[in-house]
Amino acid sequence: MELALTWNDGNRRFKDRITARRVNAWRDIFPSGLKEGLQGKTEGESISLDFAPGTLVPAYNDGLVRELDTRRFRSVSVNGRRILPHPGRFYPLGLFSGLAGVYPGTMTPARVLAVNGDAMTVDLNHPLARFPFSLEAAIQSIQDKVSDTGGLLYHWGEELCDNGPGMQARSPNGPTEFITPGFLDRDDEDDGRFYAAPRFVGHVDDTAGDNLAAMYGRFLESGMKVLDLMSSVQSHLPSGLELDVTGLGMNREEMEANTALAEIAVHDLNLDPAIPLSGPFDAVVVSLSVEYLADPVAVLREAAQRLVPGGVILIGVSNRWFPTKTTRGWTELHEFERVGYLLQLLEEAGFGGPMGAESVRNDWRPQADRHFLETRGVSDPVHVVHAFRQ
């Protein structure tokens, strides 16, 4: 099945999808009403259920908002940077000492709401605890069950809800302190040398690329003028649409090999965030590269200025990147927290009105993919963040 969780945080709408593999109706644990609703359904059919706050995940409990001494935060180093608590950020519970039932290896997320001197306010509630949401289950295939003994048991409510959804939401105490000293530093800041030679490779597997294209396609229509920002050999745009696409990237040979591009421009946005194209464009797409920007707000502000009123920006990200080119802070964020980071950057860049994101996880990686065995056949996760110019 595909399970999809839809919820909103004010004017921001989220849809988080996961492929539920080898669902066993006899053995697995299902959210309330899901198993009953699926009875008698067949391939291609789906059901939708609504859940009030506190019905699929534990209810919000004010008693789980704790005042702690900052000395109870176990500071660690990632990429040579010392991790400290910052307002709005999520951290694994194991980094907070002295909490009952919590061990150094506990990865359950907790959100720091405020830091004042030697004190910090920490929210231990589930990231989704405050939100109502709907759950859709779509049956993709049905197979005969060959055995009733052995095997794994899955709790599908936990599989869907406990691995990141909710971490995209705004902090109730105001903007999150994402960009701290060193956050935007990179190990290799010589982009001209790094991108001088072409790399004719895809950055995600084919299924993930198809998922990106499908999510982009929800916002694109034939006839649109599109700017493929930070472009390369692949644009991940829907093949069934007639789009007028201009690519702006670092390597001319890569873009010349990209059949989706009608025009190309070579430009280093980290040397100069000004986009040397007048537009206007109906859409700006940034695929699998926003994490390389040294001044993302400046570039996104430029992108907003190149859009027609009502134009859309689409930012696709995954967990694959060139390690030395990625900003250090990006690698410290949970993949769902990165969505919240991008939405905050878009707001700072002047995007307003409705915005949101969609994610796809645990899809099937093609068997011919060279990483099939090491990933156990799981496709790269993808997230697409969208916002509109007012």
CA atoms of 112 and 120, how far apart (whole Å): 7
Residue 345 half-sphere exposure toward CB, CA atoms < 13 A? 27
What pTM was computed for the model? 0.96
CA atoms of 11 and 86, how far apart (whole Å): 25
pLDDT at position 300 is: 98
pLDDT at position 95 is: 96
CA atoms of 135 and 16, how far apart (whole Å): 10
124 compared with 75, residue with greater pLDDT: 124
Report CA-CA distances (Å) from 390 to 8, 283, 285: 20, 13, 17
Both tokens of 382, joined, read 């993808």
CA atoms of 384 and 338, how far apart (whole Å): 11
pLDDT tens digit sequence for 83-137? 999 999 999 999 999 899 999 999 999 999 999 999 999 999 999 999 999 999 9
Classify burial at 11, counting beta carbons within 10 Å of its beta carbon; exposed 0-12, middle 13-18, buried 19 or more.
exposed
Topology annotation, domain 191-388 = Rossmann fold (3.40.50)
CA atoms of 66 and 325, how far apart (whole Å): 38
Check if the beta carbon of residue 58 is closer than 8 Å to that of residue 128: no
Report CA-CA distances (Å) from 178 to 11, 74, 173, 283, 330: 21, 19, 14, 27, 9
Write a three-state SS string for 30-54: CCCCHHHHHCCCCCCCEEEEEECCC
pLDDT at position 149 is: 61
CA atoms of 271 and 224, how far apart (whole Å): 29
> Which band of pLDDT confidence, cut at 50, 70 and 90, is reported for residue 301?
very high
Task: Tell me the one-letter amino acid at 56.
Answer: L
Give CA angle at 208 (234, 142), nearest 5°.
145
pLDDT at position 150 is: 66
Q: In 3-state terms, what secondary structure has residue 253? A: helix
For the chain, state the CA radius of gyration. 22
CA atoms of 362 and 106, how far apart (whole Å): 22
In percent, how much of the chain has pLDDT > 70? 99
* Helix H or strand E segment including 325: none
> Which band of pLDDT confidence, cut at 50, 70 and 90, is reported for residue 279?
confident
pLDDT tens digit sequence for 372-388? 999 999 999 999 999 99
Query: Quick one: which of 60, 188, 193 has its CA closest to 128?
Result: 60
151 backbone φψ class: left, alpha, beta (φ>0; ψ -120 to 50): left
pLDDT tens digit sequence for 172-201? 999 999 999 999 999 999 999 999 999 988
Burial track 338-356 (b if 16+ CB lie within 10 A, e otherwise): bbbbbbbbbbebebeeebb
22 compared with 138, residue with greater pLDDT: 138
pLDDT tens digit sequence for 6-61? 999 988 999 999 999 989 988 899 999 999 999 999 999 999 999 999 999 999 99
pLDDT at position 77 is: 85
Average pLDDT over residues 330-349: 97
CA atoms of 83 and 78, how far apart (whole Å): 7
> Which band of pLDDT confidence, cut at 50, 70 and 90, is reported for residue 148?
low
Check if the beta carbon of residue 284 is closer than 8 Å to that of residue 303: yes
> Which band of pLDDT confidence, cut at 50, 70 and 90, is reported for residue 295?
very high
Q: In 3-state terms, what secondary structure has residue 365? A: coil
Cis preceding-peptide flag for 85 (omega within 30 of 0): no
pLDDT at position 78 is: 82
Cis preceding-peptide flag for 280 (omega within 30 of 0): yes
Q: Which residues pair with 81 in a beta bridge?
A: 78
Q: For all residues of the chain together, what is the average pLDDT?
A: 95
| Contacts of residue 53, Cβ cutoff 8 Å, sequence gap at least 6 | 59, 60, 129, 130, 131, 132
Both tokens of 173, joined, read 């105490």
pLDDT at position 92 is: 96
3-state helix, strand, coil in the chain (%, to 5): 20, 30, 50
pLDDT at position 79 over 80: no
- Per-domain residue ranges of the chain: 2-55+131-161, 62-123, 191-388
E runs forming strands in 250-306: 263-266, 281-287
